Amino acid sequence: MNFFSNFDLGRAFALLIKKIRRIFVAPLLMLYRKILRFISPTNIVGRVSSDIKGEVKEITQKPKSLKEYFRFGDHYIAKKLVFVLTLLLMLFMVFMARIGIPFIQARFFVKSMVINTEEMLGYTGRVELLSGYENPVVLFEGRLEGGQIQGRGEPVRLPGAPGLPGGFPDGECTQAAGNCMGRREVSFTGGDFLMNQYEGNGILYQEGRNQILYEGGFAKGLYHGVGRLYYDSGTLQYEGSFAKGAYEGTGKLYDPEGVLVYDGAFQQGAPHGQGKAYKGGRLTGDGEFKAGSLDTGNEVRFDQAGRVLYEGQIAGGLYSGQGVLYENGILLYKGGFASGRYEGTGALYGEDGSPVYEGDFTQGLYNGSGRLYEEGELVYEGEFASGGKTGTGRIYEEGRLVYEGGLSQGVREGRGREYGEDGKLIYNGGFSEGMRSGMGKVYDSGERLLYEGNLKRTCTRERASCICRKRESWCTRGISPRACTRAAANSF
């Protein structure tokens, strides 16, 4: 009873499982350890060392039979010796091909190769770089380090391409067919090379000519820093700051004739920032530039024929502020602008230079107070709205006043007065849709009152100046205004 009470079935089962696992896993662990020992570097090196020692010992032993000799006439040479000599010869040839000959050539000789070919890749030593295989031009004489032009070199002088005073310190490169740098055939002197690219301060010459193309700073083969760029003719093109081969910072730009065209800030090769633009020596733009164009400031613009198109202020690249606009070289408008349209007070002119309109504008339309002209003569003065005569105004014919009062889009409306050819009042009253309507007074040529009362849509001077009621037929008969007036007076 005591035995069964102390028996733990769970522990007994776990112990059984552990024993069974050891029986099956132990052989696998032993095999795994043998494989590790077999492939371990220490074991491999030991076996190889033993094999080599054995082979060396065997080679050093004297051959024991004639089968281990080569016979050459009366002479016998051990096959082991021939094998060793052949192996050594092969190793020597590989060494010379890979290391020996390149070292000797790089140390004591100058190797000629075409620039930017596979031959240059990784090469170290003195070289003579050629422009090509046919009619080669020497581009560089100096040293390559890992296939890159670096260190000191000997100058290659082209006819008419002088060096800087004091000689040539760090190699020279010309470009006839290569990628040293540049957009034209050039020679480079007075500077350094780094990774086959110009670095530091130097001068580019046009190949074969005593002509400077660029002088100044370089970085990674590109214009960088302060420099001067020239046209092919030798005329100064740009002077100022560069960054990554483009105009950047402050500089001056000139045309091929050497005339200044821009003076100010640049960004990525285009005018950007505060600057001044010129044309033919004349200031044409002064203000803030963006992406090559004047954005805000004062500007003079020209049409395709070279005539002045606009002269005045701009904002956001559009006419804004006070300015003068021309058409085909003739004055068209003078006054205020906003967002490229007439705004504020201004004046429009005809082709003959005579005024067309003087007054207020809103979004390019007559709006506010103004004066309208035809062939230089005043025809209207007063109020405008949305481009039409609306409000209170005066109408003139041949320089004399014919109407003053209310109008709506050029048509008489509301209270107004009409005047005769002699300038005397002939009507004072209401108007509707251009005709006399409502309460009004009619006068004769002597300004004597002819009629006072209500009128219903009576003809006006715009319709043959007929002032009578119920006689609109007279207005269509070609009756003169004076005759119509007399007839109307007789009928009352």
Name residues whose C-beta falls within 8 Å of residue 379's C-beta, 6 or more positions apart in sequence. Answer: 372, 373, 395, 396, 397
In whole angstroms, what is the distance from residue 230 CA to residue 221 CA?
Answer: 18
User: Residues of the chain with pLDDT > 70: what percent?
Assistant: 77
In whole angstroms, what is the distance from residue 361 CA to residue 319 CA?
Answer: 14
Residue 93 has pLDDT above 80, yes or no: yes
Q: pLDDT tens, 461-470?
A: 444 344 443 3
In whole angstroms, what is the distance from residue 296 CA to residue 315 CA?
Answer: 4
In whole angstroms, what is the distance from residue 371 CA to residue 355 CA?
Answer: 9
Q: What is the overall mean pLDDT for the chain?
A: 78
Mean pLDDT value across residues 454-466: 58
User: Residues of the chain with pLDDT > 90: what percent?
Assistant: 41
Name residues whose C-beta falls within 8 Å of residue 119's C-beta, 6 or more positions apart in sequence. Answer: 113
Residue 471 has pLDDT above 80, yes or no: no
Residue 65 has pLDDT above 60, yes or no: yes
Q: Which two tokens stand for residue 455?
A: 């009128």
- Hey, CA dihedral for 311, 317, 321, 325, is it positive or negative? positive
In whole angstroms, what is the distance from residue 439 CA to residue 94 CA?
Answer: 125
Name residues whose C-beta falls within 8 Å of residue 275's C-beta, 6 or more positions apart in sequence. Answer: 262, 263, 264, 265, 285, 287, 289
Mean pLDDT value across residues 76-103: 81
Residue 454 has pLDDT above 70, yes or no: yes
In whole angstroms, what is the distance from residue 124 CA to residue 109 CA?
Answer: 12
Name residues whose C-beta falls within 8 Å of residue 104's C-beta, 6 or more positions apart in sequence. Answer: none
Least confident segment among 28-42, 133-147, 206-220, 410-424: 133-147
In whole angstroms, what is the distance from residue 121 CA to residue 189 CA?
Answer: 24
Mean pLDDT value across residues 264-289: 94
Three-state SS for 323-359 is EEEEECCEEEEEEEEECCEEEEEEEEECCCCCEEEEE
If phi over 0 gives left and psi between -120 and 50 gives alpha, with beta otherwise, what is residue 390? beta
Overall residue count recorded for the chain in this entry: 492
Query: DSSP letter at 377?
Result: E
Query: Measured between alpha carbons, how far is residue 384 from residues 171, 389, 394 in Å?
Result: 78, 5, 12
Neighbours of 27 (CB within 10 A): 9
- Greater confidence (397 vs 58) lies with 397
Q: pLDDT tens, 240-257?
A: 999 988 999 999 999 999
Choose from 67-71, 102-106, 157-161, 442-446 the range with maximum mean pLDDT: 442-446
pLDDT of residue 390: 94
Q: Which two tokens stand for residue 228?
A: 């001067």
Residue 310 has pLDDT above 90, yes or no: yes
Could you tell me the strand order of the sheet in which 148-154 lies? 111-114, 125-130, 138-145, 148-154
pLDDT of residue 25: 79
pLDDT of residue 170: 35
Query: Is 435:459 a contact under the CB 8 Å cutoff?
Result: yes
Neighbours of 425 (CB within 10 A): 13
Neighbours of 235 (CB within 10 A): 13
pLDDT of residue 462: 44
